[in-house]
Amino acid sequence: MIDVLIAGAGPAGCVAAIVLARAGARVTLLDRAMFPRDKLCGDTLNPGAVAILRRLDLSVTDGALPIDGMLVTGPGGVSVRARYARGISGCALLRRDLDAALLQCAAASGVTVEQPVVAERTVAGDRAAVRGLVVRRRGGRSCELRARLVIAADGRASGLARALSLSSHPPRPRRWAVGAYFSDVAGTGSCGEMHVRPRYYFGVAPLPDGAVNACVVTSDRERLRDARRFLVQTLQTDGAVRDRFASARMIARAVALGPLAVDCRVPGVPGLLLAGDAAGFIDPMTGDGLRFALRGAELAAIEAIRALETGNADAHLRLADARHREFSGKWRFNRTLRRLVSSPSAVAFANLATSLSSWPLTRVVSYAGDLPAA
């Protein structure tokens, strides 16, 4: 019998599977896509995420571009370039490459990988605890896969979490993102970039092959009626980047998604745990989404191992406590930033404060990057 059945082979699903397999569990990992596959993302890992991968001895960032700090700009030309401490860096690489590398590590760890397989719904066992999934394989054939425990790591739009009423979009803030890749962008360096404007913000990330990832996040859904035009217009008219994007070419179609943020009531039910974005998703402006996913997957795997050893049905409650201890400070920090960028007056005040001293913003960049000393 399968010990742990994991739906979703992104970073969270793979890390949970690897930790469990190394502990001796029999793990099956499913995903609806065939890897490698593209995914809208900022394509960067902050120093905290890189540190987790190193601690787990996962060599999946070979060939990545080192990111040694952040450039943050506000309205009116205010600009701060905050470098990480010596010897500390994040990195940039395509999500399709990161995810494919992690999946290879999972398979090498003894995890059974099946794709494309769609997880349709949970299977209930004794006392209504989840004891597996109904899945649909290629060709439309459905069957039950039984397991002692299930981990749903199927993303911020997790069908499994929604069906169990575990997650939902918060009423506000509601934001949508549109992103694409560009070539021939001038002036790229070794810093990630975040440009905060009233009612929207956008990020720019250099990539190892010389391309650039650019993504705009806005609360104005009407702007996404023509998502490509909105993205290009933003980059070609904003004073901080317009000269650099003057000759840029879009080399992949613009992709839009949203609403972005997902609130999670509790990260599971008896027999099922949530990991990654399925357990809650924040706006990506702080660049720490992958660190949340990787560490959250570790926490889910730790509680899954304990449940397998003890037979206790309270793993989801233990996971909730562990996530609160680990993430509550960062959640408050991110909620504060989200409120700030939602308010033009707050953005203007922060812009004025930064023009007087760069120290507060430098500290924000350090904390957002999950630096050890932050």
pLDDT tens string 262-303: 888 899 999 999 999 999 887 665 667 899 999 999 999 999
pLDDT of residue 141: 84
Residue pair 258/177 in contact (Cβ under 8 Å)? The answer is: yes
CA 86 from chain center: how many Å? 26
Mean pLDDT, rounded, for 165-187: 89
According to the model, what pLDDT value does residue 81 have?
81
CB–CB of 49/289 below 8 Å? no
Domain extents in the chain: 2-40+95-168+262-336, 44-93+175-258+343-374
**pLDDT number for residue 286:** 60
d(CA 129, CA 118): 21
225 pLDDT above the threshold of 80: yes
How many C-beta atoms surround the C-beta of residue 226 within 10 A? 14
Going by C-alpha positions, the residue among 315, 308, 310, 302 that lies closest to residue 270 is: 315
Amino acid at 233: Q
pLDDT of residue 219: 87
Q: What's the CATH code, domain 2-40+95-168+262-336?
A: 3.50.50.60
Instruction: Decide if 249 contacts 211 (C-beta within 8 A).
Output: no
Give the residue with greater pLDDT, 217 vs 344. Answer: 217
Is it true that domain 44-93+175-258+343-374 has CATH number 3.40.50.2300?
no
pLDDT at 245: 96
Q: Which of 61-65, 85-89, 280-284, 315-319 has the lowest mean pLDDT?
A: 280-284
Determine phi and psi for 275, rounding to 5 degrees: -140, 155
What DSSP string describes 300-369?
Answer: HHHHHHHHHHH--S-HHHHHHHHHHHHHHHHHHHHHHHHHHHH-HHHHHHHHHHHHH-SHHHHHHHHHHT
pTM for the complete prediction?
Answer: 0.90
Q: Phi/psi class of residue 203: alpha, beta or left (left: φ > 0; alpha: ψ in -120 to 50)?
A: beta
Give the pLDDT band (50/70/90) at residue 208: very high
- How would you classify the pairing of strands 255-257 and 130-137? unpaired
**For residue 183, is pLDDT > 90?**
yes
